[in-house]
Amino acid sequence: HSPAPDLPTSDQLAVMISPVDSQNASNLTGQVSLSDLRPQFMGNYSSVFRRIVKGNQVRIQVAIKIIKSTGAPHTIQRKILREITVWSSVDHPNILPFYGYTEDTVFGPFDAPFGALISPWCGNGDSSKFMAGHGESLTIRDRIKLWRGVVDAVVYLHQRQPTIVHGDLKPGNVLIDDGGRPRICDFGLSQVFFDQPGSGMTTTTEHTGTERYLAPELLVEDADIHPTTASDVHAMGCLGLEFIYLQRPYSHRKNNLRGVIVADIKKGVAPAAESVNPPSPLWLLVQSCWKRQPDLRPTASTISSALRISKYIVPTTVAKQI
């Protein structure tokens, strides 16, 4: 892949959008508008629009994420505050940069009662779209490199003080930038763990993840269950399955109709079963992320270190592993 292009900082973006208000780069209220009224992505909780921003000798595309009213206002506001707080505090090559937020309540014909979040536009889309179009043509080394980028971002989050747990790792939350680099996004379900009391924030508890990527312990009917670093590792292994082996978790299930995927997880069915014996070291590494007992899973840091050992950079026969 070609090197990822340098992305403008929030300060630079603020100058490009409005030279008058460069001192408050994170709050871009009144400085961003829609030039294309067609959403590029529509999800259950948000719609994403593309906007071209022109400055002196610079022309970039930004993503405008407008949050939908899909629940109690205080719940949505808490989720947005969490996302802004976490997203604006992180800085890593494999995490999508955060340009800022707006408090505008209207964008063209669209109501935006909760404002919008502004970030770089990634023309390659999310990793699901990217792998569907390019997965077969990528070399195994390139596919491993994609997974390693996600792993490195998770290492960074887990080693932060306080620890950050993403909580919703899946292909839709990994964008591929114009240089082919994976970038984790969407911190709306992130958990922030503060050791010290009186910090002003507490560990969040609400959780609704995506079934195929849920660790078994998240399906226990207990009000205190929340994502952990170990459940992030489980989902990270599922991404390894998709990136390296081009297979979805629980690919024998088309969807979760009647809760069949959830039932599989509760019964201890792994996201994928090995079909070659003996399995390769790389397959065993991916599989280790799915150990049913959370404390037996490797840390993201362990996985990252292993991926830099030559025996895990394997020939193309790995594609036939499963």
The half-sphere exposure of 100 on its side-chain side, counting CA atoms within 13 A, is 24
| Among 126, 168, 177, 186, the one annotated catalytic | 168
Please give the CATH superfamily to which domain 10-120 belongs: Phosphorylase Kinase; domain 1 (3.30.200.20)
What does the pLDDT average to over 36-48?
84
Model confidence at 248: pLDDT above 70: yes
pLDDT band of 21, cuts 50, 70, 90: very low
Model confidence at 223: pLDDT above 50: yes
Question: What confidence score (pLDDT) does residue 20 get?
Answer: 29
Question: What confidence score (pLDDT) does residue 46 get?
Answer: 86
Omega before 298 cis (within 30°)?
no
The alpha carbon of 181 is separated from its chain's Cα centroid by a whole number of angstroms, namely: 13
Question: What confidence score (pLDDT) does residue 63 get?
Answer: 93
Residue 194, token pair as written in the block: 């503060």
Does 94 or 278 have the greater pLDDT score?
Answer: 94
Domain range summary for the chain, segments of one domain joined by +? 10-120, 127-320
Residue 76, token pair as written in the block: 């949505």
Collapsed DSSP state (helix, strand, coil) of residue 8: coil
Does 196 or 88 have the greater pLDDT score?
Answer: 88
**Most confident range, picked from 39-48, 64-73, 105-114, 246-255:** 246-255
Question: What confidence score (pLDDT) does residue 19 get?
Answer: 30
| Distance in angstroms (rounded) separating the CA atoms of residues 40 and 24 | 28
**Domain 127-320: assigned CATH number:** 1.10.510.10
pLDDT band of 17, cuts 50, 70, 90: very low
Residue 99 is classified by DSSP as -
Alpha helices, H only, the chain: 10-17, 73-87, 127-134, 140-158, 229-245, 260-267, 281-288, 300-306
Of 97, 94, 92, nearest in space to 149 by CA: 94
Of 109, 90, 66, nearest in space to 161 by CA: 90
Question: What confidence score (pLDDT) does residue 277 get?
Answer: 65
What does the pLDDT average to over 181-196?
77
What does the pLDDT average to over 273-282?
78
What does the pLDDT average to over 35-61?
80
Model confidence at 152: pLDDT above 70: yes
Question: What confidence score (pLDDT) does residue 193 get?
Answer: 62
Question: What confidence score (pLDDT) does residue 25 get?
Answer: 39
Question: What confidence score (pLDDT) does residue 5 get?
Answer: 42
Catalytic, 232? Answer no
- DSSP E strands, 155-293: 163-165, 174-176, 182-184, 191-193
Model confidence at 301: pLDDT above 50: yes
Model confidence at 22: pLDDT above 60: no
Question: What confidence score (pLDDT) does residue 54 get?
Answer: 67
Residue 276, token pair as written in the block: 């070659």
What percentage of the chain has pLDDT greater than the value 70?
79
Q: 15-19, 102-106, 174-178, 212-216: lowest mean pLDDT where?
A: 15-19
Which amino acid is present at 164?
Answer: I
Model confidence at 307: pLDDT above 50: yes
